[in-house]
Structure 1
């Protein structure tokens, strides 16, 4: 059986060699390379991850029935070979980088009526009304990075529950917002907020480490890119994009949104000469 993916992120890892089935979910299968990179096979959905290959629903389910955690697959120049199937290398490649946004409306105003739980800060709307110590830490982390070049402390990475811990999701949201600023994007290239992938693997889960590694290089999920684009345009579809992000994981979407809001507060207060973001 030969399968051609519908699309891939331009940054999806393609190292040759053996990949192990790390985890298996209803709509996603994570494969891990010995060097630590992750490749995610995704069932047809509107969201594409920075390390994802998007498969047609019937193709995904055919593969899902043949794969179990711990099994290995072999990546060659012509694609991925598994138990009776071959997934050819994707032909359609999508860039998952935020576009520059000289003016970004306040996201928090769209979230005031949303009591969706976050992983560490309680209901989302309450967390925005009364910022707690976790949000204050992230604000201070951004400030320290901007003023001294310090990165995210190891004690913050991996904090909280989930396959992607809550603090990691907040950092990803903050980084996505910062990457809409051309000046800050250039600064992040010269002094990263995050350590390299090998060190991230010692601090958090394998899945989260890979998401963070891509975020440090300006690559995010299509759901997050879509939200930032609609927010920038003041689109009436912004609330729909928020709802789709909230559906990601139990608290991951809410934590990501909270991270964006913290970064917006930081930009409006701290970044000298910045255009108003709120």
Structure 2
């Protein structure tokens, strides 16, 4: 099918992508095309993303006025160039002038009287969803994942640095897909570790080593998900759920949103978030009991 030129409007852009385009001379290529996202690799092999209008705000991303990006005739390998006013991918130009810029901010960790009950509710929903797995492969993958997450949880409880590193390395690249299950769990963990004033702040620097390890041990899309997460840029639906766990209202609504991410990514990210917060709750109870 012949490809004709097309012009569409940008809707919102992440501050990091905006700052890069303001410098001008942005060049690269289309890396991959999906219905809700188009990934771009620039000349320095840094990943940026276009998101469909229905997606939530994401890191280093531009949300555009189109529902199905795979229908735009953009193809992997197409040249990309842009500046502060426009971004062109193959035959499609996106206008950026006066497009609103957003930040991806994370709230501080604040102890909450609602957390314990919300964790129990979220865990029950998550386990029910996992029981719906169909294939023998998915059942086995969930068993392996659960065992390795349990090892990581224990290492955190013991504040065992070597154990945290070893268990985290065992999760990198675990599972199939664009974002393997193990990587998604680690992203969920980073969602909590990136919040200031949580009890395990001192272990966050370990994850720079884990993210560096992931560069060669998982695929490029999953690596950049972890890289952005470590840098503090996490998509809005994920951070909104983490915040909702600490509050009385909107918990169920945000839980449903995060569970809708990908085929199983939402479940695995939720697993990581719940794990870290369960660790914090366990340690709080131990301290309250005088242990």
Normalising by structure 1, report the TM-score: 0.79
- Shift of residue 232, structure 1, vs aligned partner: 2.1
The answer to whether the Cα contact below 8 Å between 2:74 and 2:91 also exists between their aligned partners in 1 is no
The answer to whether the Cα contact below 8 Å between 2:109 and 2:198 also exists between their aligned partners in 1 is no
Q: Partners in 1 of 2:148 and 2:139 — Cα distance?
A: 11
Alignment partner for residue 204 of structure 1, among 218, 240, 245? 218
Alignment partner for residue 86 of structure 1, among 87, 93, 107? 93
Q: Partners in 1 of 2:27 and 2:211 — Cα distance?
A: 19
1:258 paired with 2:279, answer: no
1:9 paired with 2:17, answer: no
Q: Partners in 1 of 2:287 and 2:218 — Cα distance?
A: 33
Root-mean-square deviation (CA), in Å?
3.6
- Shift of residue 6, structure 1, vs aligned partner: 1.2
Alignment partner for residue 169 of structure 1, among 164, 180, 184? 184
Q: Which has the higher contact order (CA 8 A, sep 6+)?
A: 1
Alignment partner for residue 35 of structure 2, among 9, 26, 31? 26
Taking the TM superposition and a 5 Å limit, the aligned residue runs for 1:1-278 are 1-12=6-17, 14=20, 16-57=25-66, 61=69, 64-89=71-96, 91-104=99-112, 105-106=115-116, 107-114=119-126, 115-117=128-130, 122=139, 132-140=146-154, 142=156, 147=161, 151=165, 153-182=168-197, 187=202, 191-195=205-209, 199-235=213-249, 237-270=250-283
- Shift of residue 81, structure 1, vs aligned partner: 2.1
Residues 1-43 of structure 1, C-alpha deviations (whole Å, 9 max, x = no match): 5444211222347364432222211111111224332211111
The answer to whether the Cα contact below 8 Å between 1:36 and 1:206 also exists between their aligned partners in 2 is no
Normalising by structure 2, report the TM-score: 0.76
Cα gap change, 1:271 to 1:143, in 2 (>3 Å): same
**Greater Rg over alpha carbons, structure:** 2
Cα gap change, 1:203 to 1:35, in 2 (>3 Å): farther
The answer to whether the Cα contact below 8 Å between 1:145 and 1:151 also exists between their aligned partners in 2 is no
- Shift of residue 146, structure 1, vs aligned partner: 6.9
User: Which SS does the other structure have where 2:225 is aligned?
Assistant: helix
- Shift of residue 116, structure 1, vs aligned partner: 1.8
User: Which SS does the other structure have where 2:281 is aligned?
Assistant: helix
User: Which SS does the other structure have where 1:8 is aligned?
Assistant: strand
Residues 229-264 of structure 1, C-alpha deviations (whole Å, 9 max, x = no match): 2222211x2112111111111110000111111111
Cα gap change, 1:86 to 1:178, in 2 (>3 Å): same
Q: Partners in 1 of 2:285 and 2:123 — Cα distance?
A: 27
- Shift of residue 178, structure 1, vs aligned partner: 2.5
- Shift of residue 47, structure 1, vs aligned partner: 1.4
Cα gap change, 1:57 to 1:42, in 2 (>3 Å): same
